[in-house]
Amino acid sequence: MAPKTSLARGDTRPHEAEELDYLKDTVDLETNDNRHMRFESQLQVPKSGQIEYIRLPKRGRNIIARIYWALPGLIRFAIIIFPMVAIFTIILRYIFSGRDVLGLSATSFTLLCANIGVVLLIGLVLDSLVELRHGIRLPLAQNEAIELSSLVFMWCFFVLWATTGVVLWMSFAAFEGNIAERYLLAQQFDAKISQRDALGLRHQAVHYCPRSTYVMELRSRKSAGMNTKTVLVTGANGYIGRAVACAFVRAGWATYGLVRSSKSIASLAAEEILPVVGAIDDIASHSAISDALPPTLNVIVSTTENTSNYAPHFNNIITLLRTLSISSLANGVHPLVIFTAGSKDYGVGPHFADDPNLTPHDEHSPLHPPPFAIPRVQNTPKLFQNSDAFAAVLVRPTNVYGRASSYYSACFRVGSRAASNKDSNQQLLIAPTQPNWICHALHIDDCAEAYVAIASAPRETVEGEVFNISSQNFETAEKILDAIVKEYRLAGGIRYVDLKDLKPDEDSSLAMVVGFPQWTSSQKLRRVTGWTDRRLPFSDAIHVYRLAYEAAAHEGDENVEKIGRNTGVVMTTIQSPDL
């Protein structure tokens, strides 16, 4: 048997290609003309390595096609693969964000992987068929038909996936009363049952709270919308608490205010604050407080304290904060707690305006509190031991003024009392301070806006931190006292004394305002949150603040009487600074 030979032109003769045996009978042989014709036709069949595929003529391509084929292969590959990468990224991000409550994205991810597997199998089968037919594997990078097919398939698949996703979202996750919302409400009910069990209220919960009724109750509380940020302010009828609650309302938060008495409900409602009645020091009422609130709280602001019995009240606050956090944690929200202390925790500087080495307190300064603030300094570090329930932030505001005027109301009471003396020589201010003592305070509205700034800042920048809240500039005792003398036209002027030298019948309440030489920096708060103060200093707008205070007193603002009473209590612990 003669060896097999190639069909390539130029190295094969007709008789060799046909493996002819010239010894056979010539009758059985083809004529030369027929044999040459068949040989030439066989030469037209290309080798397996010479197979060519149809390519579109360049003139027949439109401008888009020409631009596409002019791109480098890597860019064309990126265009083809982009839809698949986008699908993977969107689905995985949605799944791990915790919002895939119905598992729809997880299911679509599984289907996507299955589709990719099917496409790969189809490609392998086609490749195998081509190999069987031609004896080679297709060079995919050189085949326009396969590349265009991949491009069309991927983008059609992406459009189909996106359209299906929108339809599923509109069917299951959009609009009020949808399947996803009902699923979340059921989860919230189960979380409430777990919360009651943890508090030992299992039988009470089953008896008074059937599931269907409770789900309807939760739905009625969601009128603010699922994406609305919610905040609870304790002591919402207090001087700082009310201002903070109003600031959150202005910032667009759904704001709840906790008060002890129903007498404050109307005044809170007038400010668009949702009132919740309950007593922090009544542990048994904590579950009722929780029931009156939405299932998720983003922020809780604590503005209450009991200076005469600090530790028990502080412990009750922590208990309430943990109780309220259970429901939020069950819904995937780790609430932020902003707890109010005070800048007097640092003690006096002492800070004098004419000191060439004047340096303010900051968050790293040591704590040397006056007697009334010692229990606060001893207990507030415990706040950060509850990170399993909530993220804590401790704020230390300076004195505040404006509206009902807090302890700065002493300036108006003392000034009014001095002006009422008929003897002009007795119209004087008795000031337990020195002219150069620094008096650092800020307007109550600026203080309240600082709470909102902290709540709105990225969580990682504020969680576990301590922030001072203070104005950019300080005043001096002399400047404040001069403003009081001018406002009330006190002919006797000012008499500076040491606090311990005051007579029993002389008013010492100004010590709360001008008798604590301290300057506190708030640069950390400004740097982290972008907050800044805007209102005029007390001495520059004393007439405005006096009118506001007198109007609040005339209207029976409960904070005016409350602050006056607390001033007397705090003054019993005030001592002359040891300078």
Distance in angstroms (rounded) separating the CA atoms of residues 5 and 14: 11
Distance in angstroms (rounded) separating the CA atoms of residues 357 and 346: 18
576 vs 315, higher pLDDT: 315
Distance in angstroms (rounded) separating the CA atoms of residues 154 and 82: 9
Distance in angstroms (rounded) separating the CA atoms of residues 328 and 94: 20
pLDDT at 141: 40
Q: Are strands 466-469 and 438-439 parallel, antiparallel or unpaired?
A: unpaired
187 vs 111, higher pLDDT: 111
State the number of CA atoms in the 13 A half-sphere of 221 facing the CB. 21
Paired strand residues for 299: 231, 336
What confidence tier does 74 reach under pLDDT thresholds 50, 70, 90? confident
For residue 491, give the CATH number of its domain.
3.40.50.720
> Is residue 14 predicted with pLDDT exceeding 60?
no
Q: Is residue 177 part of a domain?
A: no
Pair 382, 550: CB distance under 8 Å: no
Q: Residues 445, 535: one domain?
A: yes
R_g of the chain computed on alpha carbons: 41
State the number of CA atoms in the 13 A half-sphere of 320 facing the CB. 30
Total domains in the chain come to: 3
Q: Is 389 helix (H, G, I), strand (E, B) or coil?
A: coil
Q: Which of 260-264, 351-355, 415-419, 569-573 shows the lowest per-residue confidence on average (mean pLDDT)?
A: 569-573
Provide the strand spans (E) within 309-390: 336-340
Q: Is residue 489 part of a domain?
A: yes
Q: Residues 1, 125: one domain?
A: no
> Is residue 457 predicted with pLDDT exceeding 80?
yes
pLDDT at 411: 96
Judge if pTM exceeds 0.85. Answer: no
> Is residue 190 predicted with pLDDT exceeding 50?
yes
Average pLDDT over residues 322-335: 93
Please write the tens of the pLDDT for every residue from 214-225: 444 444 444 444
**Six token digits for residue 361:** 């307190």
Q: Which helix (H) or strand (E) holds 255?
A: strand 254-259
Please write the tens of the pLDDT for every residue from 226-249: 468 999 999 999 999 999 999 999
Average pLDDT over residues 285-305: 95
| Domain span holding position 398 | 234-571
Q: Residues 354, 391: one domain?
A: yes
* 127, 156, 172 - which closes a domain: 172
* 172, 198, 222 - which closes a domain: 172
Residue pointed to by tokens 């919302």: 181
Q: Is 277 helix (H, G, I), strand (E, B) or coil?
A: strand
Pair 307, 566: CB distance under 8 Å: yes
Q: What are the helix (H) ranges across 199-355?
A: 202-208, 211-221, 239-250, 265-270, 286-291, 310-330
Q: Residues 333, 363: one domain?
A: yes
> Is residue 571 predicted with pLDDT exceeding 60?
no
Q: Residues 367, 472: one domain?
A: yes
Q: Residues 388, 356: one domain?
A: yes
pLDDT at 515: 92
Q: Is residue 182 part of a domain?
A: no
Provide the strand spans (E) within 424-556: 428-431, 438-439, 441-443, 466-469, 475-476, 493-496
Distance in angstroms (rounded) separating the CA atoms of residues 349 and 518: 5
pLDDT at 418: 94
Provide the strand spans (E) within 346-398: 391-397
Q: Residues 15, 71: one domain?
A: no
What confidence tier does 209 reach under pLDDT thresholds 50, 70, 90? very low
Q: Residues 166, 261: one domain?
A: no
CA distances from 38 to 15, 30, 42, 167, 392 (A): 12, 10, 6, 64, 93
CA distances from 445 to 40, 377, 422, 449, 550 (A): 100, 25, 37, 6, 18
Q: Which amino acid is at 532?
A: T
Q: Is residue 208 part of a domain?
A: no
> Is residue 520 predicted with pLDDT exceeding 50?
yes
CA distances from 357 to 221, 277, 517, 529, 575 (A): 56, 50, 15, 29, 25
Please write the tens of the pLDDT for every residue from 490-515: 999 999 999 888 888 888 889 989 99
Q: Is residue 545 part of a domain?
A: yes
pLDDT at 491: 95
